[in-house]
Amino acid sequence: MKQAIVTGATGYIGSYFVEYLVKKKIEVFALGRKSLDNISNVRKARLEGSKYLKIDMNSIHLLKELFIKNNWMIGDSCVFINLAWGGQSKLSDLNVKDQMMNVIWSVNAFKVSNDLKCNKFLQIGTMEEAFTYKYLTLDYKKNSEYNRHVIYSVAKISAKKALQLISKKLKTDLIYVLHSHVMAPDDDKDSFLQVTLKKLIDKSDLIFSTGEQIFDVVSEKDCVSGYYLICEKGTAGSEYWVGSGEPRPLREYVEKMYALYPSGKEMQFGKFKYNDVKLSKSDFSIQKLVNDTGYKSLNTYEEIVSNLYNSLIKKN
């Protein structure tokens, strides 16, 4: 890979990935819907060294024309990585129309990547898909499980299915990528573990479900390293999971976090019922990724928590 086109480049993971690619001496065309003046200085710094283009995904079909206008040339070793995904407010805002528009934009992105003669197209999915496949088998008359991410992840699955259908007619290789929960500084989504760490810092009450559900956490460094290896060595038509390789009950993540930064407050597990489907450790398997690319997760959970803790303290 000599060149990369990255949509969603101003996002949390997208900006980390652009930075990683630039350090690898890859020519990066970073695409985002915001002007550089409207993104944080932290993320703007990660985009340094890339060629940035402000473009909304509803205009992605015009990308080839914009490349010609900017005199940007694509060679014989370019990978298109589609990280862009939007919602009316948040990704899990339960807005069906806005979520499903992403399916159309993903298909258009794949088509334009083929027109630009990119040799690979990586579509980035979500961990929530693993929950959704199980969730959709439930009987709504008997089951009460609830997952607020289901519309978002159904749209992701729909995009995957649509891309798999059109990939049979196009020359660009399609690869689908999912990843475990990425935990790092600059996460603006207030995920459960980040909120828990903030509670430890603020010495707030620690009230949880049983924490029995299997979960997995991966650092931003290992996540983007996995993406890069897939770009380099991933095989057409494959689906890869990027993670730590060591999934465990969610309670263990909380306990390890507390051991690092005890607040003196009692951890109250089981105070409310866990009411969602459960995943198994095999759902988080990275074996195919390891076999095909030699991927290794190098950052421990303790290191991940420490980095996030330091960033939160600095921010406060």
* DSSP assigned state of 76: S
Mean confidence (pLDDT) of the chain: 95
Phi then psi for residue 188, to 5 deg, are: -100, 15
The pLDDT score that the predictor gives to residue 89 is 61
pLDDT score recorded for residue 141: 87
Q: What is the mean pLDDT of residues 118-128?
A: 97
pLDDT at 31: 98
pLDDT reported for residue 87: 75
**Which uninterrupted H or E stretch holds 27?**
strand 27-32
Tokens 């460094």 locate to 221
What are the residues whose beta carbons fall under 8 Å from the beta carbon of 287, sequence distance 6 or more?
none
For residue 5, pLDDT beyond 80: yes
Amino acid 180 reads S
Tally: H helices and E strands in the chain:
11, 13
Among the listed ranges 34-43, 147-156, 195-204, 293-302, which one has the minimum average pLDDT value? Answer: 147-156
Report the sign of the C-alpha dihedral through residues 243, 8, 14, 51, in that order. Answer: positive
Tens of pLDDT along 69-94? 999 999 989 999 999 998 766 666 67
Is residue 3 pLDDT above 80, yes or no?
Answer: yes
Output the six-digit token pair for 69: 């206008």
Q: Token pair for residue 155?
A: 């749209």
